[in-house]
Chain A
């Protein structure tokens, strides 16, 4: 709650809205206590007195009634009406939405068709029709405004509820013996409540306006009772001669609605968890670079050379050092594996290469990436853009990250080809078919007409690879491309990648957490832990005799087929959180060889053998692991 208020207060406009509407509400609440004239007593001789006249600060209206008093009482009534309508609409609408969304199936179908039908009518027409049917009057106007807003709530809340009703915790509650009604109240409702509050705070202003509108037309509050709408309506005929009678209620409506809407937007932003991580702020086209210190030179002559890369996430008062000084290189025709557990910084390393880390919050704070001899971290955006896709292509775990769901895969491939290469559509098409064939999509000529959703996960991932190949890149960076796939499909994708590398001399950086995959596909492997490379070397050598205790323990954790029923080894504890890294070895907490020296200061990545490096003061002895 405190965090929520703080967030709200950071939004200046919302804070202003809160203050203004707070004052209005307080004034409305204390109106009966104030020494005001009776709002309904007519005094025709004193009609249309201008503002600031004796005994009537805001003047009087066409019947000589005190405008200030009418304004205060009218505001009170309008606020109450708007709020009541919002509460009624939210309660009924949310109840309908929750029931439809939770039960689904036919219940949902019938309810939502009814709601759709209501929504098909123009909004104000519907309200007018309802009042016309019920007859004019305050209560009926309230009912009409609430009724026309019910579908809005029903629709929104249903959408949210459908998502929640399929969450596993709802199933879990059922298995713990809870009935539907209890589940709705105790499990679903707390999760939709914030959305209801958001929906209410963004609509209550409009509902005040709508009730005022009905009163303006004489369908709401009846004379002599004042509300802001009826005051405006009665002042209409004197608009030119005595404008103050219109301006007074008009200004109040404007103030209320503006303040409420500003506040409502603030509440929405503060309650929407996506905003908390800064995700809704507009991302930059390339990762922000804020390099401290000198730009390191390339360490090797390789096609792609990463030297001393540091990438951080600056989230409010926290600093997550996702990548802290990574050196890597990959040659033409080589496959480099990056292996490590979730959160070790594999993806951030890969995305930093082409400046694809989301900024904010991501910032590259150090290091260099040389591609084909040229430094590209500090390069202008145009340079990066011309390299992206054309020379360095990515394949992601979820192919839908690169495939648009609503376009045919063929058209997307053709567009990718033509965006970097001006070739005719017919040529591009035949190249697209060729690409689909090269990733072994059966019936490529007809599959080119398919939409992504018509394909299985494995097929889509092959299209993802075809997209990456579209412009004959030199380097492919594949971030867990097979993690979401079945083993049989994974085997196919790996063999496609392995052949492409041989045939086209592609350099591949393959990110995974699976030693089996690394062992089959990669020439060299780098093991990451807490944002650093802890071991690097030829795959076979690293897997056969790992030198870093983490690598060695991790390999032991992986069950292999053919071992029979057995106890598996585990590494106790958890990896450190990267916003609070220890000064010494990051693995020390979990390492059984940890020594005081390990914790004393940073441990360097040092060469241990030809082509092998390890970041450990007490590396494993070669003979420890046989086989």
Chain B
């Protein structure tokens, strides 16, 4: 078994305009059926604009949201949402807002003890020993244990959040924008800690972020999400340098970069499509400079190009020389 996560036909729709009884008025497809695998020991980056379904996908993976269709396999076992105590030991989540992911009325020790007690049934002395180990691993001082969350800076709180995820002894971590609430000088502290922990404990990461540069720096592979569907997947080292899907190219051009002149990378009429009335054909066609008639009729499927890159586009950008 080399797959940490295997998703088949996974999708999520939310009802809108709920009524007291009877079916809702409409369904919004937050995540279209998608297939994806993450290998053991890999870091898969997920990028996309806000509202494209990143967090919905992540929450399904840990069982916080039941999928509408499809199947999730974690380390070869099908995830069934019935028992958080079982999959909590396999897969854990690190939240975007480090402070609000810690209960303000509990001490750090109380917070750290929950997974040890609930998931691993450790007794008091064993818990204390384990907490000491974990705190050493994430470079936190033990005296922090008896303090309350509001006494910590964002970077420290995020390290506590990571420590809690480690306490569950899961080998897979979903990192949902783990550094976007942090300052740059602190962001790197947390990212480097994550890299060290991964090596030390042989972890697998799913790293969600809207910051392309951060994703590129930490990931092995990257999946680009647009409007609830994966539009391109490839090796982190060249997906932004040589994008095949026009949307990936747009993202890469929009990232602000010192020395590059400002140019609005697309015309102003372009907004994300309305989820209530999704466009026909390729969801990107209204913003795409390469759109053809076919794009307005048919939905392109994600397909491999033979060089380790998958993309969903009828008129992809040219592959660069090195890519072959």
Contacts and interface: CB of A to CB of B under 8 A. Distances in A.
B155 interface: yes
Interface string B84-110: 110010001101110011111110000
Given A172-B101, A567-B195, A110 B250 contact: no
Interface residues of A, number: 69
A559 B184 CA distance: 9
A521 B187 CA distance: 24
A519 B256 contact: yes
B64 interface: yes
Contact of B102 (A169, A521, A563): A169
Interface in B247-263: 250-263
B214 interface: yes
Contact of B20 (A106, A167, A487, A517): A106
**Interface centre among B85, B105, B260, B261, by most A CB within 10 Å?**
B105
A458 B264 CA distance: 13
Given A459-B271, A513-B183, A561 B84 contact: no
Contact of B212 (A173, A177, A458, A561): A561
Contacts of A517: 256
Main secondary structure of the interface of A (DSSP, over half): helix
Interface in B174-226: 183-189, 191-192, 195, 210-214, 216-220
Given A456-B271, A568-B191, A570-B185, A488 B115 contact: no
B28 to A, nearest CB: 15
A418 interface: no
Contacts of B260: 519-520
A561 B185 contact: no
Interface string A99-110: 000000110011
A490 B254 contact: yes
B256 A178 contact: no
B212 A169 contact: no
Interface in A441-489: 441-442, 456-459, 486-489
Nearest to A567: B192
Given A169-B100, A175-B93, A341 B254 contact: no
Contact of A490 (B154, B250, B256): B256
Nearest to A442: B269
A252 B195 CA distance: 70
A560 interface: yes
B257 A491 contact: no
A564 B188 contact: no
B298 interface: no
Given A491-B254, A516-B258, A177 B100 contact: no
A294 interface: no
Interface stretch (B69-77, B128-136, B235-243, B311-319): B235-243
A565 B268 contact: no
Contacts of B63: 175
Contacts of A177: 84-85, 88, 114-115, 118-119
Interface string B107-124: 000000011001100000
Given A456-B271, A456-B272, A169 B254 contact: no
B217 A516 contact: no
A129 B214 CA distance: 66
B154 to A, nearest CB: 8
B262 A570 contact: no
A488 B265 contact: yes
A105 B15 CA distance: 11
Contact of A492 (B18, B217, B253, B264): B264
A440 B20 CA distance: 42
B213 to A, nearest CB: 4
A566 interface: yes
B89 to A, nearest CB: 8
Contact of A494 (B106, B188, B262): B262
B64 A174 contact: yes
Contact of A553 (B49, B185, B212): B185
A554 B254 contact: no
A173 B105 CA distance: 13
Interface of B: 18, 20, 49-50, 59, 62-64, 84-85, 88, 92-93, 95-97, 100-106, 114-115, 118-119, 153-155, 161, 164, 168, 183-189, 191-192, 195, 210-214, 216-220, 236-237, 240-241, 250-266, 268-269, 271-272
Given A520-B256, A564-B217, A574-B155, 11 more contacts: A113-B20, A172-B161, A174-B84, A175-B168, A456-B271, A492-B264, A492-B266, A494-B262, A521-B262, A559-B214, A564-B237
| Shortest beta-carbon contacts, A-B, top 10 | A516-B256, A519-B258, A177-B118, A570-B188, A440-B268, A168-B101, A571-B185, A176-B115, A495-B264, A559-B213
Interface of A: 105-106, 109-110, 113, 167-169, 171-178, 187, 190-191, 341-342, 440-442, 456-459, 486-492, 494-496, 498, 513-521, 540, 543, 553-554, 557-572, 574
